[in-house]
C-alpha cells in the first residue's frame, strides 16, 4: 500500500509539473505572439520598423533587470514577481503613450497645413498638386501621413480610401474634419479654400482651449501622481529604517491584505482624479 501511495504521489507530482510547464510554455508563446502583433505592428503605425526579435530581447532584459532590482531592494519573492509582470506591460503602455503624442503633434500641425493648402487652392493649383508641393516641407508626422496618402494615389488607390486610411491611423477630431471636408469637396465641389480657412481657425481655437484646460488642471493631475507615489516611497523608506516592523507587511497574510486594499484604493483615487480633471472639448 505504501508503495502504491508513493507511486501515485510521484505520478501526480509529475503530472502537475508537466501541466505547470505546459501552462508556462503556452503563456509564453501566447504573450510572444501578442507582443509581435501589437507592439511590432504598433511601431509600424509610428513609421518605425525595428526588428521584432530585438524588441522581444529588450523586453526580456528589462524584465530580468526589474526582477533583480526588486529582489535586491525588497528580498521578497512576490514583490519581485509583481515588478517583473509590471515590466511586461511597459511596452504596451509606452507604445500607447507614443501614439497619443504623435496624434497630438499631428493635430497641432494641421492648421498651418490647411491655411497653406487654402492659399495654394486660391492661387489656382489643384488639390493633389497643392498637397504635393506643401507636404515635403511639412514637419513630422504630418509629412509622413500625407506623403503616404499621395503615394497611395499614385498607385491608383481612390482618394476616399486613402482618406479613410489616414483617419484610421489618426483618429483625432482635426483629421475627421479634414477628411470630411476633402470628401465633400471631391464629390460635390464648392469653395474648398474657404472651408479650409474656417476649419483652420476652428482647430486653432480648439487647440488654444485645450492648452488652457491643460494648464488649469495641471495641479490636479500632479496631485494625483503625488498621491500615488507617496505610499510606495514611504513604504521603502520605512523598510530601510525599521525592517523588522515592515516585515509583517511583506510576509504575513494580514500584511498582504493591507497591501491589496492600498493598491485598490490608490487605483480608484487616481482614476477618479483623472476623470475629474479630464475635460473633453
Q: How far is CA 36 from CA 3, 8, 32, 44, in A?
A: 49, 42, 6, 11
The domain in which residue 249 lies consists of: 217-281
pLDDT tens sequence across 31-83 = 777 777 777 667 777 777 777 777 777 888 888 888 788 777 767 777 777 77
The Cα 78–Cα 84 span in angstroms is 10
- Distance, in Å, from the CA atom of 163 to the CA atom of 179, rounded to the nearest integer, reads 6
All three cell numbers of 79: 514583490
Q: Are residues 211 and 106 in the same domain?
A: yes
113 and 196 in a common domain: yes
Would you say residue 171 has pLDDT above 80?
A: yes
- Indicate whether 195 and 239 sit together in one domain: no
Q: Is 175 exposed, middle or buried (0-12, 13-18, 19+ CB in 10 A)?
A: buried
Res 280 pLDDT > 70: no
Query: 229 and 163, same structural domain?
Result: no
* CA–centroid distance for 159 within its chain: 29
Q: 239 and 207: one domain?
A: no
CATH at residue 144: 1.20.81
Distance, CA of 224 to CA of 220 (rounded, Å) = 6
Instruction: In whole angstroms, give the CA distance from residue 59 to residue 49.
Output: 16
pLDDT at 4 over 70: no
| Cα distance between residue 181 and residue 175, in whole Å | 10
Question: Residue 50 to residues 36, 39, 40, 43, 141: CA-CA distances in angstroms?
Answer: 11, 10, 8, 8, 18
- pLDDT score for 3: 62
Q: How many CA atoms lie within 13 A of 82 on its CB side?
A: 11
- Shared domain check, 199 and 110: yes
pTM: 0.74
Query: 186 with 271, same domain?
Result: no
Cα separation of the two ends of the chain: 76
Structural domain ending residue among the three candidates 171, 187, 215: 215
Q: In angstroms, rounded to a whole number, what is the distance separating the alpha carbons of residues 126 and 113? A: 15
Per-residue pLDDT tens over the stretch 12-34: 767 777 776 777 777 777 777 77
10, part of any domain: no
Q: Which of 180, 215, 250 is the last residue of a domain?
A: 215
Res. 91: pLDDT tops 70: yes
Q: Are residues 155 and 192 in the same domain?
A: yes
Three-state DSSP at 27 gives helix
Count of domains for the chain: 2
Amino acid at each position: 500500500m505504501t508503495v502504491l501511495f508513493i507511486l501515485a504521489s510521484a505520478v501526480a507530482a509529475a503530472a502537475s509539473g508537466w501541466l505547470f510547464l505546459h501552462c508556462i510554455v503556452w503563456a509564453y508563446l501566447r504573450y510572444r505572439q501578442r507582443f509581435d502583433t501589437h507592439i511590432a505592428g504598433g511601431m509600424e503605425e509610428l513609421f518605425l520598423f525595428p526588428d521584432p526579435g530585438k524588441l522581444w530581447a529588450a523586453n526580456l532584459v528589462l524584465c530580468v533587470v526589474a526582477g533583480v532590482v526588486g529582489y535586491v531592494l525588497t528580498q521578497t519573492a512576490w514583490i519581485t514577481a509583481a515588478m517583473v509582470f509590471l515590466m511586461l506591460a511597459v511596452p504596451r503602455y509606452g507604445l500607447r503613450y507614443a501614439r497619443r503624442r504623435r496624434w497630438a503633434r499631428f493635430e497641432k500641425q494641421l492648421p498651418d497645413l490647411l491655411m497653406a493648402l487654402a492659399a495654394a487652392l486660391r492661387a489656382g493649383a489643384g488639390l493633389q498638386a497643392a498637397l504635393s508641393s506643401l507636404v515635403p516641407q511639412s514637419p513630422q508626422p504630418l509629412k509622413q501621413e500625407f506623403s503616404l496618402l499621395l503615394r497611395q494615389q499614385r498607385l491608383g488607390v481612390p482618394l476616399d480610401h486613402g482618406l479613410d486610411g489616414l483617419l484610421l491611423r489618426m483618429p483625432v477630431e482635426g483629421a475627421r474634419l479634414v477628411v470630411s471636408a476633402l470628401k465633400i469637396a471631391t464629390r460635390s465641389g464648392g469653395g474648398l479654400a474657404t472651408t479650409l480657412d474656417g476649419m483652420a481657425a476652428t482647430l486653432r481655437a480648439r487647440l488654444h482651449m485645450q492648452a488652457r484646460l491643460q494648464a488649469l488642471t495641471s495641479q490636479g493631475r500632479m496631485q494625483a501622481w503625488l498621491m500615488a507615489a507617496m505610499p510606495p516611497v514611504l513604504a521603502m523608506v520605512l523598510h530601510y529604517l525599521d525592517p523588522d516592523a515592515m516585515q509583517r507587511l511583506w510576509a504575513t497574510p494580514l500584511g498582504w491584505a493591507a497591501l491589496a486594499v492600498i493598491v485598490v484604493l490608490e487605483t480608484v483615487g487616481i482614476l477618479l482624479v483623472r476623470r475629474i480633471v479630464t475635460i473633453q472639448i
